[in-house]
């Protein structure tokens, strides 16, 4: 039974037509298992063409697996990973990066907006160098951040230069990578390996696929043994073609970019309608597909009473996320409800 559209998460959305068609096509007849099939070759070729480099890549089921296995590949158990305080790896993965790395510690940097700076990284790397402290080995940045900010290419390059200088590997959590590419209007290569990123988790699920994320190693030597790591973690899909076929078609049709462009435009459209309402404050610049609103408690309650679903887990503000299928009419209905509530004298 179809439900009325909500904006609590971009994971509420269904599967986009291109990804669904790819799964139907992959379902015509049988094919080799565990990734030895033509679809997986086609998807890998599409990634390499899109990123303009001969990268090594792996398909896993979700973002937690992509991030934690990628970070585990970068660190020994006695080393550490520098991350922002609101990073998904720190707050939303139930300790999976620590678990899969057999104990590597996440060092949490205080941030304003989820963005790590060279100063924060340098502070950790230079702060303690004795045997009692888990040696920093990797840095992870989220692009776009959990609050919908986008690192500029200059910011990524500055972080990467600091990593090089300090002997740290750089991972990018790109659960919404496509939204960041659309936001900056740059190439995927510029946002990653050309700016010094070693490993990328590229999110397919929030981009319109049913399931699936890719782990992309631009530095191929870091991928040594990663196939075994995936298998051991229960992340090697036997019917791999149903993970890989959607990627191939998303790239070949350009749907990955169109979906992200639509989601970003919807966030912009919503923010523009509500930014000036009394008592409403847009908490973070809208640079991708998220809008965070600081609202008086009675407004939050009134919105919920009208049936709207949303989370308030970051800084108390209400989070609205827009997806590939967000409908203008529903966005306008949400904005109209917010307008009606804020203009009603208490
Ligand atoms: C959604 C998300 C992920 C992936 O989460 P899963 O539920 O494990 O797929 C990773 N990083 C960020 C920033 C996310 O928003």
Provide CB contacts within 8 A for 328, sequence distance 6+: 266, 269
User: For the chain, what percent of residues have pLDDT higher than 70?
Assistant: 99
Q: How much is the pLDDT for 1?
A: 66
Q: 101 in ligand 1 pocket by Cβ < 6 Å?
A: no
Quote the ligand 1 centre to 308 CA distance (angstroms): 22
Q: Which atom of ligand 1 is nearest to the CA of 64?
A: 8
Q: 173 in ligand 1 pocket by Cβ < 6 Å?
A: yes
Q: Which atom of ligand 1 is nearest to the CA of 62?
A: 9
Q: How much is the pLDDT for 16?
A: 98
Mean pLDDT, range 131-143, rounded to an integer: 97
272-281 pLDDT tens trace = 999 999 999 9
96-107 pLDDT tens trace = 999 999 999 999
Q: pLDDT class for 313, splitting at 50, 70, 90?
A: confident
Q: 175 in ligand 1 pocket by Cβ < 6 Å?
A: yes
Check if the beta carbon of residue 184 is closer than 8 Å to that of residue 152: yes
DSSP of 171-224: EEEETTHHHHHHHHT--HHHHTGGGT--EEEEESTTTT-SS-EEEEESSGGGGT
Q: Which atom of ligand 1 is nearest to the CA of 205?
A: 9
Q: Give, using CA atoms, the residue closest to atom 3 of ligand 1.
A: 63
Check if the beta carbon of residue 57 is closer than 8 Å to that of residue 47: yes
Provide CB contacts within 8 A for 245, sequence distance 6+: 22, 23, 25, 26, 39, 42, 43
| pLDDT higher than 90, residue 140 | yes
Q: Which atom of ligand 1 is nearest to the CA of 11?
A: 1
Q: How much is the pLDDT for 345?
A: 59
Quote the ligand 1 centre to 90 CA distance (angstroms): 11
| pTM, to two decimals | 0.97
Q: How much is the pLDDT for 316?
A: 81
Q: Which domains does the chain have, with CATH numbers?
A: 17-253 (3.40.640.10), 256-342 (3.90.1150.10)
Q: 63 in ligand 1 pocket by Cβ < 6 Å?
A: yes
Q: How much is the pLDDT for 168?
A: 98
53-79 pLDDT tens trace = 999 999 999 999 999 999 999 999 999
């Amino acid at each position: 039974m179809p439900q009325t559209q909500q904006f609590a998460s971009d994971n509420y959305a269904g599967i986009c037509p291109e990804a669904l068609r790819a799964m139907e096509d992959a379902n015509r007849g049988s094919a080799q298992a565990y990734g030895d099939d033509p679809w997986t070759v086609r998807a890998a070729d599409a990634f390499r063409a899109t990123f303009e480099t001969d990268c090594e890549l792996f398909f896993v089921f979700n973002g937690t697996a992509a991030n934690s296995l990628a970070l585990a590949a970068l660190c020994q158990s006695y080393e550490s990973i520098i991350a922002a305080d609101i990073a998904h790896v720190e707050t939303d993965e139930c300790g999976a990066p620590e678990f899969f790395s057999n104990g590597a510690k996440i060092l949490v940097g205080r941030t304003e907006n989820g963005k790590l700076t060279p100063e924060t990284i340098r502070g950790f790397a230079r702060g303690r160098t004795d045997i009692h402290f888990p040696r920093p080995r990797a840095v992870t940045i989220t692009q776009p951040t959990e609050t919908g900010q986008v690192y500029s290419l200059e910011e990524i390059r500055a972080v990467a230069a600091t990593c090089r200088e300090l002997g740290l590997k750089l991972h990018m959590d790109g659960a919404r990578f496509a939204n960041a590419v659309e936001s900056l209007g740059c190439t995927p290569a510029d946002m990653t390996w050309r700016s010094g990123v070693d490993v990328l988790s590229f999110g397919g699920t929030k981009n319109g696929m049913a399931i699936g994320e890719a782990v992309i190693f631009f530095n191929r030597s870091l991928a040594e043994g990663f196939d075994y790591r995936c298998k051991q973690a229960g992340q090697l899909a036997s019917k791999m073609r149903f993970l890989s076929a959607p990627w191939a078609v998303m790239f070949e049709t350009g749907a990955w970019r169109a979906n992200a462009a639509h989601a970003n435009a919807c966030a912009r459209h919503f923010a523009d309608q509500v930014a000036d309402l009394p008592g409403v404050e847009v908490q973070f610049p809208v640079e991708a597909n998220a809008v965070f609103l600081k609202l008086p408690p009675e407004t939050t309650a009134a919105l919920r009473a009208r049936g709207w679903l949303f989370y308030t887990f970051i800084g108390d503000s209400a989070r609205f996320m827009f997806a590939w299928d967000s409908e203008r009419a529903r966005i306008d209905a949400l904005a109209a409800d917010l307008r009606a509530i804020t203009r009603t004298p208490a």
